[in-house]
């Protein structure tokens, strides 16, 4: 593991702890060159399907892209970081449990929206506006009308 300060690769583990759910190990490390301490996290590398983009390109699944999109949608909303993390973990488990070797960005986006609408309406509309590439206000209004007329079951967690 490379030191974030000096880039030296030799370090020692000072402390190791299991995460809350036991699926992550947190390690405190100390650089043997500059003595700076830093934290790393280890998780099991799961077999996640390749992501098929709208233009047909394929790329490895990237957890950070989904996490970033959901965080942006939930910005300044009463949605906790834990709720966002649980949402992403639930999505990953869903993708891993499927037998598919590839998953389209369309399916990923639809599943994210299905989870978000249960957490926060505004975050859902924000995400949908980017994902569905709304071109004008009328598309926002239509999405909100649909949300009002067909309210999904709520499991609000904050």
- Quick: pLDDT tens for 65-122: 999 999 999 999 999 999 999 999 899 888 888 778 899 998 999 899 899 989 998 8
Q: Count Cβ atoms below 10 Å from residue 37 Cβ, excluding itself.
A: 13
In what helix (H) or strand (E) does residue 147 lie, and over which residues does it extend?
Answer: helix 137-149
Question: φ, ψ for residue 135 (rounded to 5)?
Answer: -95, -25
CA atoms of 30 and 139, how far apart (whole Å): 52
**Which of 96, 116, 111 shows the shortest CA–CA distance to 48?**
96
**Which of 36, 40, 44 shows the shortest CA–CA distance to 6?**
36
CA atoms of 73 and 113, how far apart (whole Å): 10
pLDDT of residue 48: 79
CA atoms of 37 and 13, how far apart (whole Å): 9
Q: Are 84 and 127 in contact (CB under 8 A)?
A: no
Per-residue pLDDT tens digits for 110-158: 899 899 989 998 898 888 888 777 777 777 677 777 777 776 654 444 3
Write the CA distances from 84 to 34, 120, 146, integer angstroms.
Answer: 35, 11, 24
E strands of 19-71, at which residues? 24-31, 37-43, 50-52, 58-59
pLDDT of residue 153: 55
pLDDT of residue 111: 93
| The model scores a pTM over 0.75 | no
pLDDT of residue 154: 44
Tokens matching residue 12: 């020692």
């Amino acid at each position: 593991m490379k030191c974030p300060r000096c880039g030296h690769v030799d370090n020692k583990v000072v402390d190791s702890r299991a995460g809350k759910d036991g699926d992550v190990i947190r390690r405190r490390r100390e650089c043997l060159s500059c003595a700076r301490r830093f934290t790393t996290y280890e998780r099991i590398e799961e077999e996640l399907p390749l992501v098929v983009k709208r233009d047909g390109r394929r790329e490895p699944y990237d957890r950070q892209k989904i996490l970033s999109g959901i965080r942006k949608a939930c910005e300044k909303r009463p949605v906790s970081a834990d709720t966002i993390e649980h949402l992403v973990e639930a999505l990953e488990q869903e993708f891993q449990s499927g037998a598919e070797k590839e998953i389209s960005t369309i399916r990923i986006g639809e599943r994210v929206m299905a989870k978000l609408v249960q957490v926060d309406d505004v975050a859902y509309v924000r995400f949908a506006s980017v994902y569905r590439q709304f071109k004008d206000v009328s598309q926002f209004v239509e999405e909100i009308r649909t949300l009002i007329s067909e309210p999904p079951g709520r499991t609000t967690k904050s």
